[in-house]
Structure 1
């Protein structure tokens, strides 16, 4: 009997070690990992620079609390804020905590309560971020949600116009709806959202939990569209696997988060900060990000060429190395077949294969993944999906 709550539908794989783009399980089987720990291990597993930074910090101290000055926190905050074109950072332990902090910050700074999010969105599993999420399955069984969240239709500006007003504290969105099915936002839609926020005095919050830290080929996905958000949130890839999240905002918001207004015992702990610094040093580099975009172009082009005649494939959507392959049926057995062939991938929504390879993936590894996906989709047994 397991003593864990059965909150996860776990796979039959138990990792024994991992390095780069690969995981080896307890039985010695090797898997090409196109999950990256659900978009976390952007530099692959156990990148040397990050491992060295963590080890060095372990030999100094690993917890003192946020009552103390910590120069490394300041350094990480500046690096993160500079990359986002913003000014101030609050460090948390996760993406959900970061989004929770962003919600609190927007409400406190504006003195308003209503926050508009979008159908199919995903922002976390705390009570506020669950309420912010535009998916009923996330909320099922938990009773009444916070009533101050309203939901517009993604990529439909008229839907937002019907909801936004002078009582709106913020509009919160993802540049690509990840958990919702890999749906990128339209550029015109994003710019109109920003205009509506300015006209109504509402803050624009961009959830970059999955799209940030180089995943899109830019430090943050909103930078593809020349947007100027008031607040962004980051997590996942920020710490290369150590728990860390961040709220990043404009300098005029600093007064709203004064002493005692928000906090976290473990937020910005020294080990996670060391990992984040090493991670950002690698990723926030022009040549590295250019390679991510080149790999994205290569991956999507090869997928389109290989799968264009496959009757199961409806559409391929992407931004950077965040790719969704929409299929014409349920995927319940498909992931297991891919694992049996040594490839780890994810789902998004009901019928979308989600690929989140490490940003360090090689072209040879991309070719191997595409060959495996094509092999399984071309099998006669897949007709049942």
Structure 2
């Protein structure tokens, strides 16, 4: 990394033919497990569906075309204190003669995704006038891959937690010339956005999140509102039924990384189960994502070899002291709690540690709302950030 430039450099998405030949050979040599009769998705990824997905991956999926589509976005890399960070940076389209500058906005992703989460929504945010919205609501959009995800470098030492990533993103926005900006995110990106507001309140004008993560509460439940106690119970039940992946990521991520880095079918199984389980798809994953969209997300992990490094971030986050989690965000904050997301918190819980100014419950969309429902998500961001545009110019 010593030769990396301190300035953003254009980055080209380019896959070597040998990597695609190797992938094809591995897919065709997949060793399939057995499955109990009529298991479906009850034990994890459904065998029949994964066979169908892998067959499409082998003989129907056009990665060069998908890569070319992704490459139409302006990609860059930048060294920030060690790791080179990959990011997409798209400047707003503003009407000629407009005296309302665009609001800089950093979008923060989670797991199992990358900048991919926001690819559909970027044009809606940067050029709202071309999509039936007010041109004055345009954003300059920055979408970085966290270290160890996508095209960003993998940390060579201990994995970074979301607090450290927030510090990197504040530095990135400064390098790009944005003294004040908005932050938005979901999943781990929700926490990155939160820490941007906590640690850089002089620069972050407002924070938007689609979730608040799973709850951590060590006080007396009697001090909670009834809806908060019910939510804690629901979250605990969800964790018991669905949280095995997170326990493994926090404790023994390296063990799983061997198989997931070696087997493309195994990697797809690990990711597609979460796309299905966390999206608003009613049990049919292709109501939310096409096969090509699923495989594009998987390819961004496969080609970069980042599934292991992405999982290790859970271990880093598990070590964040409870006192950090209890800090209060005073920067104005909004939440869009999409109906199909998992364990949606009540407003009373959000207000315990956050200056909440707006909470909405969009009728469609799940954990990957920017990808599942880009128009709804874009409108949520336009509406929420509208009152804070002037503050970004102050």
Name the TM-score, length of structure 2 as normaliser. 0.26
Name the TM-score, length of structure 1 as normaliser. 0.27
Which of structures 1 and 2 has the larger relative contact order (alpha carbons within 8 angstroms, sep 6+)?
1
Whichever structure has more strand as a proportion of its residues is: 1
